[in-house]
Amino acid sequence: MNVYMLYGDIGGTKTLLQAARLENGIVHELITHRYQSGEYACFSDILSDFLNRSEIKNSPDKAEAACFAVAGPVANQHASLTNLPWQIDAAEIARTFAIPEVRLLNDFEAAALAVDELSPVDLVTLQEGRARPEATRVILGAGTGMGVAWLVWQDGRYQPLSTEAGHIDFAPVNTLQLRLLESLQKRFHHVSVERLLSGSGLTQIFNFLQENLVEFENISHIALDEDSGATITKLAHEQKHPVAIKSIELFTEIYGAFAGNLALAGLCRNGVFIAGGIAPKILDTLQAGYFMRAFSDKGRFSVLLNEIPVKVIIHPAASLLGARRKAQELMRRFTVKSLRDA
């Protein structure tokens, strides 16, 4: 009987699963399937559907290892999704689906693992900088939420450290951002970075601007759903809607300032990597200078920030790549154990 591995990226909006064989160090994909997460009561329902698809169900092969990147904190191999009422437990998955090795990773911990798997075509450079080998890196990204992970050099390679830095306080840097903070405090009391740097955050910015800026008072208001980031991006790119354009510019400035704060906090001299689903969709605005001006605007430390490489990850499934890398490690351990026990 042959064995295969499972890996996936479990998010508040979508879940992407793959199954693959690992032969002589080469991954051979068997099946890939995408699910709308909100249509399912729990992750086990999705995994059950995936394993019952004909490509797997009709195969004599057995799943020996699985790794899933989860959009939420992971503690003791138990995860709670930040934007869905799901609880996921690695041991329970292993028992329910008879998979010997199951691991959960925070989705940005997984994305961090993928950084060295990316090719040059997967990256767009915002600032070349001067990379310092073995120095700390940071990866961050806005999507359904805001994810952040560090990469620290240990034992001859980079080790990812998951965080919940997306939930630290939003720090406004000018009068307009202060007004935005005050507006959101009335609604939420605590205003985290994620309240602004996410799909719903872009919507918050749009609503604030169309309601509060005099320059937009004669423009018809648009009623948006709570998470309408994609709609706003479309309005900006296709209709040149002034409020949408201003919203993305302000979003990008806040994004850059936050990335610069993280770069300082970790002295990330070997790179800042921008991931998440939103960055590729606003790449033209990221490249226009708003992001990097805010990133480097750190007073006496601006010179240091100007030396840090900054790149946007445009690969559509970085967290999935990281989960695959971890699943490969689990499969190799299985192979070594099997040879030892033979």
Mean pLDDT (the chain, rounded): 92
Tell whether the model's pLDDT for residue 334 goes beyond 70. no
What are the b/e assignments for 175-195, b being 16+ CB within 10 Å? ebbeebbebbeeeeeebbbbb
**What mean pLDDT do residues 302-320 have?**
96
Tell whether the model's pLDDT for residue 267 goes beyond 80. yes
Q: What tens digit of pLDDT does each residue of 216-237 get?
A: 888 888 988 888 889 999 999 9
**What mean pLDDT do residues 81-93 have?**
92
Distance from C-alpha of 338 to C-alpha of 342, rounded to nearest angstrom: 6
**What mean pLDDT do residues 306-318 have?**
96
Q: What tens digit of pLDDT does each residue of 22-33 get?
A: 777 788 888 999
Tell whether the model's pLDDT for residue 316 goes beyond 60. yes
Q: Which domains does the chain carry?
A: 3-112+318-341 (3.30.420.40), 165-313 (3.40.367.20)
**What mean pLDDT do residues 157-167 have?**
92
pLDDT at residue 3 in the model: 84
- Lowest mean pLDDT across 19-23, 112-116, 170-174, 333-337: 333-337
Tell whether the model's pLDDT for residue 331 goes beyond 90. no
Helices 318-341, 107-114: axis angle to 10 degrees equals: 80
Residue predicted with more confidence, 49 or 80: 49
Quickly state the pLDDT bin for 41 (edges 50, 70, 90): very high
| 270, amino acid identity | N
pLDDT at residue 1 in the model: 52
pLDDT at residue 145 in the model: 87
Mean pLDDT comparison of 3-12, 58-67, 176-185, highest-scoring range: 176-185
**What mean pLDDT do residues 321-339 have?**
79
Q: Is the Cβ–Cβ distance between 118 and 322 less than 8 Å? A: no
Residue with tokens 């959101």: 184
- The radius of gyration of the chain from alpha carbons, rounded to an integer in Å, stands at 21
**What mean pLDDT do residues 306-314 have?**
97
Across the strands, what pairs with 35? 15
Q: What tens digit of pLDDT does each residue of 114-139 get?
A: 999 999 999 999 999 999 999 999 99
pTM: 0.88
Q: Are strands 157-162 and 146-154 parallel, antiparallel or unpaired?
A: antiparallel
Tell whether the model's pLDDT for residue 5 goes beyond 90. yes
Tell whether the model's pLDDT for residue 339 goes beyond 60. no
pLDDT at residue 183 in the model: 96
Question: Where on the phi/psi map is residue 134: left (φ > 0), alpha (ψ -120 to 50), or beta?
Answer: left
Tell whether the model's pLDDT for residue 336 goes beyond 90. no
CA 159 to chain centre: 17
Q: What tens digit of pLDDT does each residue of 43-57 get?
A: 999 999 999 998 888
pLDDT at residue 58 in the model: 81
